[in-house]
A and B are shown apart, each in its own frame.
Chain A
Amino acid sequence: MSIASGSVDGIPAAEVPDVELYHPRSWITKWVFSQDAKVIGIQYALTATAIGLVALVLSWLMRLQLGFPGVFDFITPAEYYQFITMHGMIMVVYLLTALFLGGFGNYLIPLMIGARDMVFPYMNMLSYWIYLLAVLVLVASFFAPGGPTGAGWTLYPPQSILSGTPGGQDWGIILMLLSLMLFIIGFTMGGLNYVVTVLQARARGMTMMRMPLTVWGIFTATVMALLAFPALFVSAVMMLLDRLLGTSFFMPALVEMGQRLNHEGGSPLLFQHLFWFFGHPEVYIVALPAFGIVSDLISVHARRNIFGYRMMVWAIIIIGALSFIVWAHHMYVSGMNPYFGFFFATTTLIIAVPTAIKVYNWLLTLWRGDIHLTVPMLFALAFIVTFVNGGLTGLFLGNVVVDVPLSDTMFVVAHFHMVMGVAPIFVIFGAIYHWYPKITGRMLNEVMGRIHFWVSFLGAYLIFFPMHYIGLLGVPRRYHEIGETAFVPASAHTLNAFISVMALIVGAAQIVFLFNLAWSIRRGRSAGDNPWNAASLEWQTPQTPPPHGNWGQDLPVVYRWAYDYSVPGAAQDFIPQNQPPAKAAE
């Protein structure tokens, strides 16, 4: 029988059932050049973790220098600046962005919306390999003549391309900019995928307002990233031209070390505007997926519907939109027109309102819940504490005049580590403990998980909470040592040493976590399909781990939102999204 006989209105029917399209043909196409979003997600996650370990070691080295200045004399000022720069850039871009969007986005979007895969699997594969190339170029700068750039992760010109900064007149800054451009190209390929997949490939019945908040967070963050990263891309191109061809986009007439340079007419502030037009949305590109994921963790482990779902969705969208008109709050003391301060302080503080609503709704989800203190829940609670703490110090720095004494001090360092370092990373940990059973079919070890949690939570808080007060004293950031300074009492040095010791301990706890990840693949308790009794679609796959194509012959049909927990009258305390209404009542 001809396949074409099944045609409708002259359009031939599919030659094979759609699930057959998804079978990889060899080991290479299954595990290396894979087009399966789940494998790509894992590839992203492993690469991000590997480069993240480099950033962790760098943070140890800088804390050794800061806590015990003069003791570790193999750390020169130049190296210290290279360490902070690479630590910052790796954590913000190559770890957090890549892990949330490339890692969790790839793994979870198709599963959570009931799709077989991303809509452009080949481009998705390219996205990962270009990301890997970006990471390799970044790593190469460690071995290039002059070492990596030491311009600070903000790469402010003119210093970033001048000789007074490590890597400024060597390879460092060039490789950094090239790596960022590659990252953005790779991200754009993945990002378009996530957006189109969410808009076009949802299962029957999966309306936008039935999607789990995880998908909402990743989706909105991806749209933002597609709009924000081009600003970084063009500023990277312009800076490369300034550095290599002697153009003057960011370079005014200046005299460096008694030498008049051949630049004229450019504006260093232009770069700052472009950078922060990317840089501020970037904060929320990391935060929104964390918001979404943590909402789901809290709901599942408190056995209660997320409180105020519609408000949560709108808060995500409003935060995403507002975050494009707050960027210059990073520039209150940059020398821009001071009247901008009124506008940007107002928009910045307005953003606190939808953010606070999200916090309330997490708390109200816990309230009257049935709280299981599992490891994912513990990390979710730790997220709320650190995020609220870091968000509130944002009200200091966003309120233009309060920012004046605090800007560029350790207070800022403490603030952004708490709010966009520690807090989202706790969500990543919680998410890994939560979804590892789906990814591997086995549970992570509980005891190791709890050790990891307690040391990380209390330790990270003890690092970053006191650090605010060093900034309040007036200690500037980006100093390899504060040295003899009139306004810094000796006790502050003791506090610095304490913070460094805590940093080493918290870092060491991550080794327990990594060991757990490796150990549990074989030794972990078998998880089954749905160990947490979760309602969202990714837990309803016919097989665990789900194979390529996810759903077997038939795609799931969705009848309800993802938060039917403890519904009165239901047999169980959760109703899966794909359970028909009649059956749920039984």
Chain B
Amino acid sequence: MEKEEIVSRLTPVFRKVFADSTLVITDQLSALDVEKWDSLSHMLLIAEVENEFTIKFKLKDLNKMANVGDMIAIIESKL
């Protein structure tokens, strides 16, 4: 799967979880940039992303996700 496709499928997931219909995803985007992105919503996001791509993350993967770029790289490695 191309990176663009991953981004286009991730966007609605992010918009839904953070209830923000204008949210734009970039590689650098992180929890610091999104007000509602805290340790509670983070896990909801993880579960939604897993469903969207029918993949399973490992707990170790979570620690390596400092921003959306890292998340996309991990998703790519699982597809």
User: Is chain B a partner of chain A in the same complex?
Assistant: no
Which residues of B are in contact with A by a Cβ distance under 8 Å? none
Which residues of A are in contact with B by a Cβ distance under 8 Å? none
